Amino acid sequence: MPSPKKGIEVYSSAAMWSQFYQRLESKARRLIDPLTGHVDRRYVKSVPCPLCGMIDTAPRVQRDGFDYVTCNRCSFVYINPQLTQQAILNVYNDEDVRRFFLEQLLLPYVERDQQAEFEERALVLKSFVSNPKPRLLDIGCALGNFLLMAEKIGFQGEGLELNKLYVDYAKQHRSVTIRQQLLEDMHYPDNAFDVVTLWDVLEHLPKPLDTLKDVARVVSPGGIIGITTINHSCVNEKILKDRWRYYMPPDHLCSFTPEILESILNRCGFTIVKLRHHYMFEVLADHYFRFLNSSNSTNPVRNSIGKVKKLVYILLAQSTQFLFNRLRSGDLLTVYARKL
């Protein structure tokens, strides 16, 4: 998932992001039973609501053969039914998609675009803790770029990452500690960290509440967690419905709102101290402003037109981000919460 970026950064990588999402959609569609238009029943299982355990749901949207539903009790949005673990291993092996993301997006674009955002996040986290050398755990740390930034400003950091491709790359090219493990398998002692971060992680989890309970155990009293995740109560979702980019099955298993996220965090013993919205113009541009996309040309006239299109795109991106961030209607949420 792209992090919040300035207009010019959005523009330079927009075409590659579109390719990435098209690859994910193509991968998901291979699981569809042509007779029903839904995912083949052999690959899925029904699950209760991950938050309240109820099985009473209402349909929300269908995307690429998968159904997102809304829990009638707690209003949580999640995929049901979901792929079985065996199906993920045997059928939905997405290494080719992940390699594309690593080589075509993460290394040339995403890490560059995230530098300023990661520095801001690390400084915000540092301002909330009293330990001069705070202990940090970054869950889902990818190549360790945030860890590098955090250590640069004084954190003692380590990361957890399940993608072997990322872990192998980081071990060869990054001077950070990353383990290919789940949090629950690490058996960290209680109160082991001053800060735990989950950037773009919660929406991928089948049981986000259980994970946050594990996080609460390893965060010291007064410690901080940092989270970015997707927010379906945003203007783009209202406009696009099932075309909203962040309905991304089967990778994105669930979605949040500020109210739901606050409720979950409260249940785990946290209170929110800072929340930011991030409106993503490129999500809407994929459907309604494709004529502004970049195109390479040696023709002087077309090249001039391309520069005008680029300027218009950037102006639209920056103005809409400014507006909808302040109207608290962003596709993404960044949340900082303190353990009581």
Distance (Å, whole) CA 82 – CA 41:
10
CA dist 266 and 61 (Å) reads: 28
Q: pLDDT tens across 254-291, in order? A: 999 999 999 999 999 999 999 999 999 999 998 999 88
From residue 219, give the alpha-carbon distance in Å to each of 191, 194, 266: 5, 6, 14
Q: How deeply is 116 buried, as exposed, middle or buried, from its count of CB atoms within 10 A (0-12, 13-18, 19+)?
A: middle
Query: Which tokens sit at 60?
Result: 């929300």
| Helix/strand/coil (H/E/C) assignment for every residue in 228-284 | EEEECCCHHHHHHHHHCCCCCCCCCCEEECHHHHHHHHHHCCEEEEEEEEECCHHHH
Pairing of strands 44-45, 193-199: unpaired
Kindly list the domain boundaries of the chain, sorted by start residue: 7-339
* Residue with tokens 């675009």, as numbered in its chain: 113
| Per-residue pLDDT reduced to its tens digit, 223-260 | 999 999 999 999 999 999 999 999 999 999 999 999 99
Fold of 7-339: Rossmann fold (3.40.50)
- 166-216 pLDDT, tens digit each: 999 999 999 999 999 999 999 999 999 999 999 999 999 999 999 999 999
DSSP annotation string for 291-309:
GGS------HHHHHHHHHH
